[in-house]
Amino acid sequence: MRISDRRFALYLMTPAALFLAVFVAFPLFRLVADSFFKISPIAGGPRDFVGLDNYFRAFASEAFMGAGWRTLAYTLVVVTLEFALGLGMALLFTTLGRSSQIWRTVFMYPLMIAPIVAGLLWKFLMIDNFGLIGTLLHQAGILSNPNQIGWLSDPDIVLFSVAIPDIWLTTSFMCLVLFAGLQNIPGDLIEAARLDGARAPAMLFRIILPLLRPVIAVALVVRGIDAARAFDTILIQTNGGPQSASETMSLLIYRTMIRFGDPGLASAMGTVYLLAMLAVAFVAVSTIWRPGKDN
Amino acid sequence: MRVAERTTHDGGTPPPVVAGTSVPTTTGSSGRQRRGVNREGLEAGRRSTRTLLWVLLAAAMVLYGFPFLYLLFTSFKTPIDTIAVPPTILPREWTLENYTNALGRSGVLASFINSIQTAIISTVLSLVLAVPAAYGITRYQTLSGRIFIMAALVTRMVPPVAIGIPLASMMAAVGLSDTPIALSIAHTTISLPLSIWLMSSFFEAVPKDLEEAATVDGCSRLGALWRVVIPVVSGGIAVTAIFAFLASWNEFLFALLMTAIRSQTTPVVIANFQTQFGLDWGSMTALAAVYSIPVILLTLLLQRKIVAGMTLGAVKG
Candidates A112, A174, A278: best to mutate against B (most CBs of B within 10 A) is: A112
- Of the candidates A95, A215, A257, the beta carbon closest to that of B53 is on A95
Per-residue model confidence (pLDDT) at position A23: 94
Question: Taking the C-alpha atoms of A132, A138, A142 and A145 in order, what is their torsion angle to the nearest 10 degrees?
Answer: 120
Cβ contacts (< 8 Å) between B153 and chain A: which residues? none
Domains and CATH numbers, chain A: 54-117+156-289 (1.10.3720.10)
Per-residue model confidence (pLDDT) at position B36: 41
ipTM for the complex shown: 0.87
Residue A273 to residues A11, A48, A217: CA-CA distances in angstroms?
A: 34, 23, 22
Query: Are B6 and A222 an interchain contact pair (Cβ–Cβ within 8 Å)?
Result: yes
Cβ contacts (< 8 Å) between A253 and chain B: which residues? 159, 161-162
Cα distance between the two ends of chain A: 44
Per-residue model confidence (pLDDT) at position A151: 85
Cα distance between the two ends of chain B: 6
CA distance B130 to B128: 6
- Of the candidates B40, B67, B165, the beta carbon closest to that of A125 is on B67
- Of the candidates B12, B71, B132, the beta carbon closest to that of A121 is on B71
The CATH architecture one would assign to domain B5-88+105-311 is Orthogonal Bundle (1.10)
Query: For B165, phi and psi rounded to 5 degrees?
Result: -70, -50
Interface residue A175 vs chain B (CB under 8 A): no
Domain edges within chain B: 5-88+105-311
Q: If you measure CA to CA, which chain A residue comes closest to B254?
A: A232
Interface residue B215 vs chain A (CB under 8 A): no
Per-residue model confidence (pLDDT) at position A119: 93
What count of CB pairs under 8 Å joins A to B? 362
Query: Are A131 and B87 an interchain contact pair (Cβ–Cβ within 8 Å)?
Result: yes
Candidates B17, B18, B148: best to mutate against A (most CBs of A within 10 A) is: B18
Cβ contacts (< 8 Å) between B171 and chain A: which residues? none
Per-residue model confidence (pLDDT) at position B180: 92
- Of the candidates A173, A228, A257, the beta carbon closest to that of B8 is on A173
> How would you classify the pairing of strands A47-49 and B5-6?
unpaired
CA distance A44 to B289: 42
Q: Which residues of chain B have pLDDT under 50?
A: 1-39, 313-317
Mean pLDDT, chain A cut into blocks of 10 residues (295 residues total)? 81 94 93 89 77 91 93 95 94 86 84 91 87 86 82 89 93 89 83 81 85 84 88 91 89 89 90 90 70 45
- Of the candidates A187, A208, A222, the beta carbon closest to that of B18 is on A222
Cβ contacts (< 8 Å) between A238 and chain B: which residues? none
